[in-house]
Structure 1
């Protein structure tokens, strides 16, 4: 069985796209093909093979494999002892960093977990969540977080470098989330650093390294991007838009807008209406 789920508009940081289970027939295969989300398979019984990037893995009960977005993969059930697997499709801003903490990446796609049947139980819980009506999406997201926390807890120990890289990705997402939530306010880099709990200079260096731009430039460009989106609303004046994206001084807003977009807000709006 398989259930497909609509993309979450509420839980953009992490959400379930589908889940399912299948007792495969002898030699059943899928691919070569790509996905546009993460897909984690866990083998409940039997055996099979998984191929990615020119490498072939022979897998059995208690193991699993991760399919990353836009990566060509192929997998096939054993001809004599075909596998039964359950799977979890998911995506979101935190998906990659959480998987890295669990030791699962495009270069290391194999899962090892034979402690108990907890992973299969999460599939069961997801299926049982059909009984939820108003809160099912939140329930599924919570179960996905719990599943990934299990994999992180009992996954391979990360090297110091991998741990730093994973934490850096999380901090960058927190900066982006803070900016996207509070861009209309009078925020500073110091405010962001205090919110995240890191030294201002360290956070700025970390963000620059990960994003190849400064936090200040990211904030400016995000504000201007949102301003451009508001230009189509004829009821808003340039001053209204300026204040709505965090600039109390319309003249300063116009100066920054022109620097980023190459045209004044008035000219940009005029040209946009011609399209």
Structure 2
């Protein structure tokens, strides 16, 4: 059983391209070949081999393998105990990040999950979603998120051979917090409180890793977002100011000019050389 799905304009971050289940005959194989999307197989019974990047893996029930886009792979069912498996194919800008959370990358393509039958349950729900006429695509996307969250929760936190340092983890948390909350009146204290570290210690870690202060990173992030908003003619300078966390348009204009070399109005109307404006300050 296999179902192919059309591309998604609504769920560009993550969407299913196909899913299915198969009981393979002895020796059944595919490849060597490449795919244009991610393909994750999960073995329900039996065994077989998976080859990628010069490595050969012998796999069995409770394991699986990840096929990465544009990478040559080969897989084959065992001659005496052929595997049956289910699979999901998917694409999207968040696919790689979500797979990494489950410990799955091109360098670490083997899935280990032998807790329960939750993967089969999600696959059945995908099949049953055919009864949804208006919102099937959204339901399928939600089920894909749930399945990947299950693999991330009970899989390795990082791929073997790569462990993030505490500094990297804290720095990424700061960047994520700013990305989500830059439009609010956030302070460095707010960020430190959210992460659970002393303000001075967090600032020191961030400066050491990023070669800039948290405050400067926040301001630069806001000004870059403001530049993106300038293209929307429906937004006034005041609208943009408030949208990037400044209730005072005059203060926003002052900081913008200091960072970009021109006022927001000059930037928008192109009164100066944009190459100069966008050069690092």
Give your verdict on TM over 0.5: yes
**1:52 and 2:56 correspond:** no
Aligned partners of 1:49, 1:9: CA distance in 2, in Å?
Answer: 36
**1:222 and 2:221 correspond:** yes
Aligned partners of 2:230, 2:240: CA distance in 1, in Å?
Answer: 8
**Structure 1 position 257, deviation (Å):** 2.3
**Structure 1 position 20, deviation (Å):** 1.0
Residue 53 to residue 128, structure 1, CA distance change in 2 (3 Å): same
**Structure 1 position 226, deviation (Å):** 2.5
Residue 117 to residue 233, structure 1, CA distance change in 2 (3 Å): closer
Output the TM-score relative to the length of structure 1. 0.71
Q: Could you list the runs of 5+ residues in structure 2 that have no partner in the other structure?
A: 275-281
Please give the secondary structure, in 1, of the residue aligned with 2:223. Answer: helix
Output the TM-score relative to the length of structure 2. 0.69
Residue 256 to residue 3, structure 1, CA distance change in 2 (3 Å): farther
**Structure 1 position 65, deviation (Å):** 0.9
**Structure 1 position 223, deviation (Å):** 1.8
Aligned partners of 1:59, 1:132: CA distance in 2, in Å?
Answer: 35
Residue 134 to residue 121, structure 1, CA distance change in 2 (3 Å): same
**8 Å CA contact 2:50, 2:76 repeated in 1:** no
Q: CA RMSD in A?
A: 4.3
Please give the secondary structure, in 1, of the residue aligned with 2:39. Answer: strand
Please give the secondary structure, in 2, of the residue aligned with 1:229. Answer: helix
Report Cα offsets for 1:21-58 as digits up to 9, x if no partner: 2435654324542545x432112344443223321223
**1:179 and 2:178 correspond:** yes
Of 161-170 and 184-193, the range deviating more from structure 2:
161-170
**8 Å CA contact 1:257, 1:263 repeated in 2:** yes
Counting matched residue pairs gives 269
Aligned partners of 2:271, 2:120: CA distance in 1, in Å?
Answer: 53
Please give the secondary structure, in 2, of the residue aligned with 1:49. Answer: strand
Structure-2 residue corresponding to 1:147: 147
Aligned partners of 1:107, 1:72: CA distance in 2, in Å?
Answer: 11
Aligned partners of 2:250, 2:122: CA distance in 1, in Å?
Answer: 55
Report Cα offsets for 1:112-135 as digits up to 9, x if no partner: 334543322221122223334566
Please give the secondary structure, in 1, of the residue aligned with 2:270. Answer: helix
Report Cα offsets for 1:120-163 as digits up to 9, x if no partner: 2221122223334566566445544543454355546979x967
**Structure 1 position 67, deviation (Å):** 3.2
**Structure 1 position 255, deviation (Å):** 3.7
Aligned partners of 1:31, 1:170: CA distance in 2, in Å?
Answer: 41
Aligned partners of 1:274, 1:214: CA distance in 2, in Å?
Answer: 28
Instruction: Please tell me whether Structure 1 or Structure 2 has the larger radius of gyration of its CA atoms.
Output: 2
Residue 261 to residue 84, structure 1, CA distance change in 2 (3 Å): farther
Structure-1 residue corresponding to 2:124: 124
Aligned partners of 1:140, 1:206: CA distance in 2, in Å?
Answer: 41
Aligned partners of 1:6, 1:203: CA distance in 2, in Å?
Answer: 43
**8 Å CA contact 1:101, 1:166 repeated in 2:** no
Which aligned pairs between 1:88-107 and structure 2 lie closer than 5 A? Answer: 88-90=88-90, 99-100=99-100, 102-107=102-107
Residue 201 to residue 274, structure 1, CA distance change in 2 (3 Å): closer
